[in-house]
Amino acid sequence: MTAIVEILSALFLLMGVFLFLVSAFGIIRLPDVYTRNHAASKSSTLGIMFILIGTLLYFYYEHGHFDFRVVLAIIFIFMTSPVAGHLIMRSAYHTGVKMWDRSVQDDLKKTR
Partner 1 sequence: MLKFALLGVSLSMIGFLYRLIKGPSVPDRVIALDAMGINLIAIVALASIVMDTSAYLEAILLLGILSFIGTVAFAKFLEKGEIIEDDRNR
Binding-residue total with partner 1 (CB under 8 A): 52
Alpha helices, H only, 30-100: 33-37, 44-62, 68-94
If you ran DSSP here, which 8-state letter would residue 93 be given?
H
State the first-to-last Cα distance of the chain, in angstroms, to the nearest integer: 58
d(CA 52, CA 76): 12
**Which of residues 1 and 89 has its CB atom nearest to partner 1 in the complex?**
89
| From 1, 2, 3, 63, residue interacting with partner 1 (rule: CB under 8 A) | 63
Answer whether 85's CB lies under 8 Å from 23's CB. Answer: no
- Nearest distance from C-beta of residue 71 to partner 1, angstroms: 10
Give min distance, CB of 46 to partner 1, in A. 11
Q: List % helix, strand, coil for the chain (3-state, nearest 5).
A: 80, 0, 20
Q: Is 61 in the site for partner 1 (CB under 8 A)?
A: no
Position 100 contacts partner 1 (CB under 8 A)? no
Please give the residue ranges that form the binding site for partner 1 (CB under 8 A): 10, 13-14, 16-18, 20-21, 23-25, 27-28, 33, 36-37, 40-41, 44-45, 47-48, 51-52, 54-55, 58-59, 62-63, 65, 67, 69-70, 72-73, 76-77, 80-81, 83-85, 87-92, 94-95, 97
